[in-house]
Structure 1
């Protein structure tokens, strides 16, 4: 079979299923190339080789990453597409045990979690020497600002393919089924849940919606010790329900555009807006409304750091433009 060379960013098209072809050979070259870069790429190459030996399908990744850096914009799609392909092909793979599949997914999830935790914008933690007490702005005082920003939001042209990858994961049938189950329990719109899942977990179904911690045990980051009761490690839905109830989102009756943007920003925190006077990357990264500035650790602000994670409002913009949801009022 002729090897087709593709840019790794093409993995961000949301076409994992179409690309999930068994690699008859040649993952050796992936391993050799990835070894040059080490770290996450090398680990992912090892998982891909193992999946192939088990007869599972993996995305065609037989090339080195586009740079020697472990760029989150490349790492996240590669790992998530790998996990999706393994999960999708497992039922048809002969001689593969559930333990084999779980092991691959668990290790891929840890790779993703490590990369995501290094990039993800921490939720507000009002503790420590650099912390300042923050009072959330009144909804009415910023609702019109949200409506204006969304109406004028444009996805940056160089980020459009990445945004469409996020959209493809939000609308993936397996995830959509889980999001709908959460909606049935909480009445929180399915796509609001999906976007939090993208922000906090990188769409990993092995992670708590609260903060991306492993679903194998209760959360260890803020909020810690959640859920109080659930069935680890497979009960993603009840954990997600607990996350929404913890923030009392299940009690909210109004899900207009401005309310959703307000709640997403509140979910992560107000410091970007109130202390540093910028449109928070948690909402607007990958759009014309955000350039730079982000928290790089709890209460640690870097005015030159640029978020490599698509913002929640920009995911919603992508969903609307692709016709998956109507523009919220």
Structure 2
């Protein structure tokens, strides 16, 4: 069954707006932030935001620099897990570029780096099995109140009772955003209507200011005409 990515983006954005951290992310996000220049070097070659590369690295291999970004296998030998048959590579960076450019879901081709779009790309990176079950992906939401339990313990085998103990990508990004303003740069806000206290008040009808079209308005017009005639005479 094909997943509706537009609907998944909306679900992920709604979850982000409500999410609260339920675990301590501080140690992990500081460790990731320290290596920002290294992630930026890969970002420059792929177009994938550095913070997306960072959280994938944490999720796939707990930020091991000897493991490939694609699936956590050693990058200096041929990978055996999906995507299998990649490598060997000369460096972690070379393996990371290959994972982002040449491996599904091809993050370098992704164009929507809004919050909802980013979280949906990260969910695709792990697989859409959770979306097919209409449950939050632990790859994205573990460690937040949007996730309770449920995990694919091996290919095609889902256990609703298992709790994913790794930190999820959304929680990592939420915590990292507190450290670095370049994560999800501010989106221009929609201009709002000024509150009543700031709007120019409309005067209420009175003798001095009768409502347009009323008898008072007609009388006031006659008086103005008489006065104007008197002044000219």
Q: Report the Cα distance in structure 2 between the residues aligned to 1:284 and 1:241, rounded to whole angstroms.
A: 25
Aligned mate of 1:304, from 152, 161, 168: 161
RMSD of equivalent CA atoms: 1.6
SS of the equivalent of 2:158 reads: strand
TM-score, normalization by structure 2: 0.74
Q: Specify the alignment match of 1:191 in structure 2.
A: 51
Match in the other structure for 2:222: none
Q: In the alignment, which residue of structure 2 is the partner of 1:144?
A: 10
Query: What are the Cα deviations for residues 259-294 of structure 1, in whole angstroms up to 9, with x where unaligned?
Result: 11110000111112212x321111111111011111
Structure 1 residue 253, shift from structure 2 partner:
2.8
Question: Secondary structure in 2 aligned to 1:199?
Answer: helix
**Whole-Å separation in 1 of the counterparts to 2:36 and 2:11:** 30
Q: What is the DSSP-based 3-state SS (H/G/I as helix, E as strand, rest coil) of the residue aligned with 1:171?
A: helix
Q: 2:113 aligns with which of 220, 233, 255?
A: 255
The total of aligned residue pairs comes to: 184
Hey, which of these two has a bigger chunk of helix by percent? 1
Question: Could you tell me which of 214, 221, 224 is aligned with 2:84?
Answer: 224
**TM-score, normalised by the number of residues in structure 1:** 0.53
Cα deviation per residue 1:88-119 (whole Å; 9 max; x = unaligned)?
xxxxxxxxxxxxxxxxxxxxxxxxxxxxxxxx
Structure 1 residues without counterparts, runs of 5 or longer: 1-133
Output the CA distance in 2 between the equivalents of 1:178 and 1:226: 21
Residue 28 of structure 2 is aligned to residue 171 of structure 1:
no
**Structure 2: runs of 5 or more not aligned:** 188-233
**Alignment check: 8 A CA contact 1:319 1:325 kept:** no
Which structure would you say has the larger Rg? 2
Does 2:158 align with 1:293?
no
Mapped partners of 1:272, 1:138: distance in 2: 13
Query: 1:36-74 deviations in whole A, cap 9, x for unaligned?
Result: xxxxxxxxxxxxxxxxxxxxxxxxxxxxxxxxxxxxxxx
State how far apart, in whole Å, the 2-side matches of 1:152 and 1:291 are: 15
In the alignment, does 2:66 pair up with 1:209? no
